[in-house]
Structure formats: C-alpha cells, structure tokens
Amino acid sequence: MTAIVNNKQMIKSPLNFTGGKYKLLDQIIPLFPKNISTMIDLFSGGSNVGVNIEADKIISIDNQKELIRLFNSFKEHSKDGVFQTIFDIIDKYSLSKSFEYGYEYYDCNSLKGLGKYNKEKFIKLRKDYNSLSQDSFYKDIMFYTIIIYSFNNQIRFNSKGECNIPVGKRDFNKNLQQNLSNFIDRIKSIDIEFYAMDFVELDINQYDKDNLFIYADPPYLITTATYNEQNGWNVHREKELLELLDLIDSKGIKFALSNVFENNGRRNKILEKWSKNYKIHYLKHSYKNSNYQKNKNKNSLFKTVEILVTNF
C-alpha cells in the first residue's frame, strides 16, 4: 500500500515500528494545521510522520538513543557510504542476500523465510554489536543491519541495555532498500533535527509560538509491543503526557495526539475522560492486522478504535 496525500507520495520509514503511522498518513496529515513553521514530533519512532509533514523546520525527538544516532548517521553520512557499510556487514557475517541469489540458493522459500539460514550468523552479529561500548558510525549501521534481519524489522533491548530481538524471516530486500534510499534522500533535503531525549525534557518556551505545532504518537497504554515492554509506558507516563498537552494548549500552541480508545476488549478510560476537552477525530484503522480480532476463549469480536485528538 502506498500512502498519497494531496497527490504527493509519502516516504515510508525503513524501520517497522508497531503502530507506525504510514498507512494513516492520508487521514491524519489533512487534519494538521496549515502553514506550520516548526513541528515538534514528541515520539519520533520510525519518523513516518516527521519526514512527511510540510513544515519549515521539524524537531524529532525520541528517548531511544540508538534510534536517534541511526537517523543522524543517515543524515550526516553519504547514502552510498550507508549502503556500502550495510553490504560490508552482510558479507562479513555471511547473512543472506536473497535480493541477489533468491531463496532457493539458501535452501529456503518465501513462505518459511530465511530465519533458519540466518539465525546463527544473526546471533553473532547481535553479540558483536552488544560488545561495543564506543559509539560510531559503524556501530550505528550494525544496529540497522540487525533491524533488517530481525523479527518484523523491529527493535528490542533487555533490561541490561542489550539488543535481544530474535532473527526474522526476511533480509535486505529490494523494497527495504528503496525505502531506505528514499528516506535518506528526504532527511537530507528538509530541515529536520533528531534529538535523543524524553518528552518531559521538552522546553516549549524556547520555540516561537507562532505557527508552532506539536505532534504526539506515544506508546499506547492498552496495547502490547516491544516499545512498551519492561513497564516502558504506564499510567504515570500517560498522565505526564496528557498534562504536558494541557500545558501546551494553555499556551495557545496547537497539538495533535494519536492514540486508541479501545483495543482487543480493553479501553483507555484515562484518555477518554481527558479527550472530552478537545476535538476527537475517529480514524479508519488500517494496520496489518484486521480491525476485528477473534478472542479464541470467548469467541467474540474485538475492535480497535483509532483516534486523533486535536485542540484546534
């Protein structure tokens, strides 16, 4: 699926974040303010929204420092250098290159995937990455290569700060290569800055309020994903964010919040109560999974209610 807004094709992130907004861009971007001077993305994630927004300047923040380092490496180094380093790492660890040799070369097929072939090689790459203590461009690209070959191209760290995502079924296929190429071109062509910080550290007073717009797509309190494991997002954090958005509103600054009211039979009552003070836009849920999922135990249908809350 290709997202198109105002006859313009959107850039898809080369990262696969659960809840990423690429497939919802055609619904949410038209709801954003016009003539944005500075847009602050409080939870960058894969930056599907940040790289596609029309704004004079974009400030993209995330508390995943490895992610922000990666984006800055994409921005600061040549695209050819990024790609060559990825291919060098793939060759060093003898990971699969189905884009050159196909699946049969590795005694695999597209249905079962390449996990069996790549598993031990992937574990070695991950172990070597975790052993590095000093940050560098090469380490950043090792991190991205892990993501390429990981389960669903996702990111996960354990309580010790070690990357522990398991191997996945795919590799650096042509679609992913194209997504990465387009993404690097975009961040080099627009005024976007990436910062490793938590949303509570944001000092909104340092920005000119005229045409300032703040977008928040936080981890969802009632969903389960790698980004909110180990109590990474809880009721306290949810309330901190909502209080910040209230403060932003009190200063006359426009904001938009992506979230869900309901998911798999659970409801976010905190969010529902808070949002009554603002405008609620109901979206057509369009993630990979179906809108309605069967609960095997109760044989009932549960839905996801995706919303965008704005103060304008």
What was the pLDDT predicted at 289? 39
What was the pLDDT predicted at 3? 80
Greatest Cα pair distance, the chain, in angstroms, is 61
* CATH architecture classification, 4-63+197-310: 3-Layer(aba) Sandwich (3.40)
The distance of Cα 34 from the centroid of its chain, to the nearest Å, equals: 24
**Domain 68-173 falls under CATH 3.60.110.10:** no
Are the beta carbons of 129 and 147 closer than 8 angstroms? no
What was the pLDDT predicted at 91? 98
What was the pLDDT predicted at 293? 38
Cα angle for residues 293, 296, 299 (degrees, 5° grid): 80
Residues 200-225, buried b or exposed e (16+ Cβ, 10 A)? eebeeeebeeebbbbbbbbbbbbbee
| Both structure tokens of 217 | 């797509």
What was the pLDDT predicted at 231? 59
Q: What is the pTM of this model?
A: 0.90
Rounded distance between C-alpha atoms, residue 265 and residue 249, angstroms? 31
What was the pLDDT predicted at 264? 83
One digit per residue, pLDDT tens: the chain, 312 residues? 578 887 789 999 999 877 789 999 999 999 999 999 999 999 999 999 999 999 999 999 999 999 999 999 999 999 999 999 999 999 999 999 999 999 999 999 989 999 999 999 999 999 999 999 999 999 999 999 999 999 999 899 998 999 999 999 999 999 999 999 999 999 999 999 999 999 999 999 999 999 999 999 999 998 765 544 555 799 999 999 999 999 999 999 999 999 999 988 889 999 999 999 999 999 987 544 333 333 444 444 557 889 999 999
Q: Could you tell me which of 164, 153, 156, 85 has the C-alpha nearest to residue 123?
A: 164
Each domain of the chain, given as residue ranges in start order, spans 4-63+197-310, 68-173
Q: Which amino acid is located at 111 in the chain? A: L
Q: Is there a common fold for 4-63+197-310 and 68-173?
A: no
| Both structure tokens of 44 | 């960058």
Rounded distance between C-alpha atoms, residue 113 and residue 17, angstroms? 20
What was the pLDDT predicted at 18? 75
| Both structure tokens of 121 | 């090689």
Rounded distance between C-alpha atoms, residue 298 and residue 295, angstroms? 6
* DSSP letter assigned to residue 256: E
Residues 111-122, buried b or exposed e (16+ Cβ, 10 A)? eebbbebbeebb
